[in-house]
Structure 1
Amino acid sequence: MKKYIKKLTSVLIVIFMVTFTSCVEKKAPISSIKATELNSIICSFGDRPKDLISLDNNSIRQKDLLLMLFEGLVRIDENNNIVPGIAENWIVSKDELTYTFNIRSNAQWSDGIEITAKDFVDFFSVVLNPKTNNIYASTLFPVFGAQEYREGKRGFDGVAIRAVNDKTLEFKLNSPCSYFLDIISNPVFVLRKIDSSLIDWDKNYKDIQFSGPYKIQEVKSKDEALLIRNENYYNKAEVKSEKIWAEFIESREFALASFKNSKINVMADPPENESAFLMGADEAIAMPIEKGVGLSFNLKENGIASDVNFRKALANVINREQILENDLNGVGRAASAYIPNLQESKSNKPFFNTYGNTNLAMSYLNKSKYNKKDNIKLIYIEENQNKQLCEAVAKNVRDALDVPIQCIGYNEEEFKEAMQKGEYDIAASEYTGLYSDSLAFLEGWRTNSNVFGYKNTEFDSLVAKAKVEKDKTKRKEFISKGEEILLLDLPVIPIYYENLVVCRKSNVEDIYITKEGNLKLDRAYVKSSK
């Protein structure tokens, strides 16, 4: 990935959280000054966050806001490398069990108070607390005592996270974890004091201590907040924009209208049917991210979905390339494997023909127990892109195999209820990892870790080995073999990997994104019209 957007060309626990938003009318942002007349960025951050804790959801856009306001021990730079954050450096012991972070001498909260190692200890004690609603807690279980504390079996004094002194923070692990830095680079682990001020952030923003490049100066309404550069941020010299307007526009259609009318000058995820036009006009760019969309099967019930030959028939008949081009306006890259970054490595073989193979699919169907009486139910969260995908898949399968599939759209609560009750054969959803590592895409498919009823002891063993393997080559082999088993068993059919489409006016420079799809504006600025 090149350095900046302007220079670029066109799991589970996997968490199956669909982040597409419905078209809900909202009033226009109250700022009457147009972006083209302002020497600052006005960016839509999607839905207004209910809080700035954000541990109970996997919303990419809410994480964007966290990265504006707070920073962790490490951060992701414009080249997608993990680099020092509030910690100026770190030392890993020879046995790879101890990570020692040295906090910067000039690290301060936005009110000028010194940031210490104890601040991080306090933060992680709350993050791991059994009473904290945190879907990411298990990613910290490599830390000694973290799982037992989370499960209420010991106090936090038994967790190996300690302040050696004011500027030295130490983690001790249960076993070597080569991706530990990837775990703590997750935006949800940026340093903040988790209290009531973060819950009612729009009312209590003056009480919040910010640790990142920006702080909230003013909340204009429920739809708009003004962020200004944090003058006590250790790296303030590299923060280019003095202020950024954060707009909260739930509807992507309405956000795009605001972009076209120059009421905002940056947004992500425009409506799919507009993406090609925007990119052709050089007002948007599509960037690959590590997020997939797939079809997962209900293996808890003894229906046709539990027949592996039937699953293989569907996996092999789907013409992913055609669906992306004709039905989804090229929103992503066709998936021939499950893990995005492994597929895109030249050393990995494809599992599927992305154009489909009808003959192979029919041979699997003939081996299966399918009969015309089977009523196959494919559910999805009601949103245009989801509907287009499911209907295109259903048509593809019907035309090629003469297998009818009933597509049913639900709102998010109804979708969750149908999943819990097992009232489906196939569920369409996004998938991503809870931390930035290939293993994260597999972890949630372990026995008793997934909601679909998938069980394979060999797969479980490979995931367990990959978690502790020091040798990078062996570790990659374990992960690749685990992915191969997953795709032979096929509890899930990967369809495509998403691209993040970012819209920006021509005078906005140096926006970049992370491989998980987080929009980063700490280096962005509006170019002078002179």
Structure 2
Amino acid sequence: MRKAFSNLSALLLLVSTILAGCSSNQTSSDAERKEEATKNVKQEITLNALSEPPSLDPALATDTTSGWVIDHLFEGLYTKNKKGEPVLGAASDVKVSDDGKTYTFTIREDAKWSDGDPVTAQDFEYAWKRVLNPETGSAFAFYMYYIKGAEEYNKGKASVDEVGVKALDDKTLQVQLDAPLSYFDKLLTMWTFYPVKKSLVESNKKWAAEAEGYVSNGAYKLTSWKHNSEVVVEKNEHYWNKDEINMEKVTWKMVNDATTYYQMYKTGELDLIQTLPTDVIAQEKDSEEFKIVPYFGTYMFMFNVEKEPFNNPKIRRAFAMAINRKAIVNNITKSGETPAYAFVPYGVNTPDGDFRKVGGTYFKENAKEAKKLLQEGMKEEGWNKLPEVTLMYNTAENNKKVAEAVQEMIKNTLGVKIKLANQEWKTYLETTAQSNFQMARMGWIGIFVDPTVILDYYLGDSPNNRTKWVNGKFDNLMAQAKVEQDETKRFQLLHEAEKVLMADMPFMPVYFYSQNYLTSKKFKGIVYPINRYPDVRWAKKIAD
């Protein structure tokens, strides 16, 4: 019996081992099959740009929609890695002088344009000086003012030859700064510093208006642009780092209606959407496809300080104090936004702590005080009745809901009836750039996480400052901060600058952004930067 039992035990052990081995092999085989199947999956993704990109010219783009596409088409001397850190891109090497003011970049030998031609240092020199050329009309030229002679040339006070950007040879670019800049590498990751192909741009002024003839140097090339419908880019076979790029094709649809693009996501026509309809957030927030990420920017309403009634600072402050920001973020946007009582968002680490926490708030919501300020402002202007007010916003469902809420809050708190008007994004940018408004919605996202790039918006000579507000003290503090090498002192100067801005209030902050997304489970490896829309260069579509 003992022998029979022993033999039976051995047999059972053998069977168990065989079964276990089969299970292990089976699991391994499933994984291998899935991996093999993924190799055969078309690496394509469809996103939603919401609207037509106003410009795909790096020198002229000023908005996040255009920037989203451009960031996939071009690459600067530096690019960003998956962690959002600046790393060398089109440059293979950089040397910095002992005084921190001269940078010498070596352009990669294998850096090429999407048509196969080599990218040269001359292309970079040409592109940057083109941005600075007053005739170009670049609204972001001021980001280059750190460069020696750049501001003077842009303002017509110096020649182009005095700008501290020079190609020493085909692969060597020298850049001279007015003063050392600790975040110069981060600055160079923004699209304003991308190269353009000199021979192409000089031969065709409309080179960036259509897909045909468009040439870029980044991970993708532009293959189709059906205006107001879709933009398509495909992997650039000439890109030096193409082996690291997983996604072969990216399509941006242009669907502005939130209900429509949400349904398109649900039916698989879109693989990723941002800014969900507010009425679906509650049902989606527990989904593994739902994501909320911080977004380094501020949602606001600008005041035109040269148009009645917002020529009066007390009336501007009255409007700012009259709305309920918590009600807006809790009942309308519902995506983790933070009520804003200043301009610079949370998220900037300083030697003293978070910049926003250190700076605190600059006003409080107070209906009684708002009414008092309104009456004082009207009395100062000699008005018995407030001039008619129109609030403008760019067409989008959530913008409409916020505008309607503000309209109702102003009416209930101040007894002022305001009208609403909306325009499509490209037209809206043109209208507000001409300061053809009284009160208008705007969002400002930092190109990197630093107070400077937020506060720069309201510089007196910034083309982005649509409010007509100019304050010499503010401009001077900002100028001092940009050359200050002591970080503690630099942040102190930036706090002082924000204090000046908030005392005059040429705008009313509403909330600090966060961004919500729905992303199909079919994709992995998508990067969600704090100051850009998703980067899909490393995304991968996996087999079901």
Scaled to the shorter chain, the TM-score interval is 0.7 to 0.9
Pairing 1:45-124 to 2, within 5 Å after superposition? 45-49=49-53, 52-124=56-128
Please say if residues 375 and 406 of structure 1, whose CA atoms lie closer than 8 Å, have aligned partners that are also in contact.
Answer: no
**Aligned counterparts of 1:434 and 1:509: Cα–Cα separation in 2:** 25
**Aligned counterparts of 1:404 and 1:83: Cα–Cα separation in 2:** 52
1:374 and 2:386 are equivalent in the alignment: yes
1:199 and 2:208 are equivalent in the alignment: yes
Please say if residues 435 and 467 of structure 2, whose CA atoms lie closer than 8 Å, have aligned partners that are also in contact.
Answer: no
1:446 pairs, out of 451, 455, 459, with 459
- Which one has the bigger helix percentage? 2
Q: 1:94 to 1:329 in 2, by over 3 A?
A: same
Aligned to 1:257: 263
**Aligned counterparts of 1:418 and 1:249: Cα–Cα separation in 2:** 22
Aligned to 1:42: 46
2:402 pairs, out of 389, 395, 398, with 389
Aligned residues: 485
Please say if residues 70 and 212 of structure 1, whose CA atoms lie closer than 8 Å, have aligned partners that are also in contact.
Answer: yes
**Aligned counterparts of 2:453 and 2:237: Cα–Cα separation in 1:** 36
Aligned to 1:286: 292
**Aligned counterparts of 2:466 and 2:47: Cα–Cα separation in 1:** 36
Following TM superposition, by how much is the alpha carbon of 1:298 offset from its aligned partner in structure 2, in angstroms?
3.2
What's the % identity of the aligned pairs? 25
Q: 1:506 to 1:345 in 2, by over 3 A?
A: farther
Aligned to 1:351: 361
**Aligned counterparts of 1:268 and 1:444: Cα–Cα separation in 2:** 25
Listed one character per residue, the Cα deviations across residues 180-203 of structure 1 (whole Å, up to 9, x for unaligned) are 333321123323315237335422
**Aligned counterparts of 1:510 and 1:397: Cα–Cα separation in 2:** 44
**Aligned counterparts of 1:353 and 1:135: Cα–Cα separation in 2:** 30
Pairing 1:290-439 to 2, within 5 Å after superposition? 290-301=296-307, 303-330=308-335, 332-341=337-346, 345=355, 347-351=357-361, 356-358=365-367, 361=370, 364=373, 368-369=377-378, 373-375=385-387, 377-381=389-393, 383=395, 384-399=397-412, 401-411=413-423, 413=427, 424=438, 426-433=439-446, 437-439=450-452
User: Which residue identity lines up with residue 411 of structure 1 in the other structure?
Assistant: Q
**Aligned counterparts of 1:75 and 1:353: Cα–Cα separation in 2:** 39
**Aligned counterparts of 1:103 and 1:421: Cα–Cα separation in 2:** 41
Q: 1:276 to 1:236 in 2, by over 3 A?
A: farther
1:463 pairs, out of 474, 478, 489, with 478
Listed one character per residue, the Cα deviations across residues 391-438 of structure 1 (whole Å, up to 9, x for unaligned) are 322333443x443231321436589658857663x3332234567642
1:246 pairs, out of 243, 251, 267, with 251
Please say if residues 104 and 174 of structure 2, whose CA atoms lie closer than 8 Å, have aligned partners that are also in contact.
Answer: yes
Higher mean alpha-carbon deviation, 69-78 vs 52-61, is at 52-61
1:473 pairs, out of 485, 488, 504, with 488
Match of 1:202, SS state, is: coil
User: Which residue identity lines up with residue 420 of structure 2 in the other structure?
Assistant: I
Please say if residues 249 and 255 of structure 1, whose CA atoms lie closer than 8 Å, have aligned partners that are also in contact.
Answer: no
1:173 and 2:177 are equivalent in the alignment: yes
Please say if residues 139 and 434 of structure 1, whose CA atoms lie closer than 8 Å, have aligned partners that are also in contact.
Answer: no
Aligned to 1:12: none
Match of 2:310, SS state, is: helix
Please say if residues 273 and 329 of structure 1, whose CA atoms lie closer than 8 Å, have aligned partners that are also in contact.
Answer: no
Match of 1:83, SS state, is: strand
Please say if residues 54 and 66 of structure 2, whose CA atoms lie closer than 8 Å, have aligned partners that are also in contact.
Answer: no
1:511 and 2:515 are equivalent in the alignment: no
1:188 and 2:198 are equivalent in the alignment: no
Q: CA RMSD in A?
A: 3.3
Aligned to 1:488: 503
**Aligned counterparts of 1:436 and 1:108: Cα–Cα separation in 2:** 30
**Aligned counterparts of 2:467 and 2:415: Cα–Cα separation in 1:** 22
**Aligned counterparts of 2:370 and 2:226: Cα–Cα separation in 1:** 55
**Aligned counterparts of 1:322 and 1:120: Cα–Cα separation in 2:** 48
Higher mean alpha-carbon deviation, 177-186 vs 257-266, is at 177-186
Listed one character per residue, the Cα deviations across residues 43-97 of structure 1 (whole Å, up to 9, x for unaligned) are 3344444663143342312222222222110112232222211123423323222
Match of 1:53, SS state, is: coil
User: Which residue identity lines up with residue 125 of structure 1 in the other structure?
Assistant: K
The structure showing larger relative contact order (alpha-carbon pairs under 8 Å, at least 6 residues apart) is: 1
Structure 1 runs of 4+ aligned residues shifted over 6 Å read none
1:138 and 2:142 are equivalent in the alignment: yes
Following TM superposition, by how much is the alpha carbon of 1:324 offset from its aligned partner in structure 2, in angstroms?
1.6
Q: 1:226 to 1:445 in 2, by over 3 A?
A: closer
Please say if residues 136 and 434 of structure 1, whose CA atoms lie closer than 8 Å, have aligned partners that are also in contact.
Answer: no
- Alignment TM-score, normalising by the size of structure 2: 0.78
Please say if residues 49 and 253 of structure 2, whose CA atoms lie closer than 8 Å, have aligned partners that are also in contact.
Answer: yes
Following TM superposition, by how much is the alpha carbon of 1:153 offset from its aligned partner in structure 2, in angstroms?
5.0
Listed one character per residue, the Cα deviations across residues 107-164 of structure 1 (whole Å, up to 9, x for unaligned) are 3334544333223123223333333242212221221222343345554333221123
Following TM superposition, by how much is the alpha carbon of 1:342 offset from its aligned partner in structure 2, in angstroms?
6.0
**Aligned counterparts of 1:153 and 1:457: Cα–Cα separation in 2:** 20
Following TM superposition, by how much is the alpha carbon of 1:524 offset from its aligned partner in structure 2, in angstroms?
0.7
User: Which residue identity lines up with residue 281 of structure 1 in the other structure?
Assistant: S
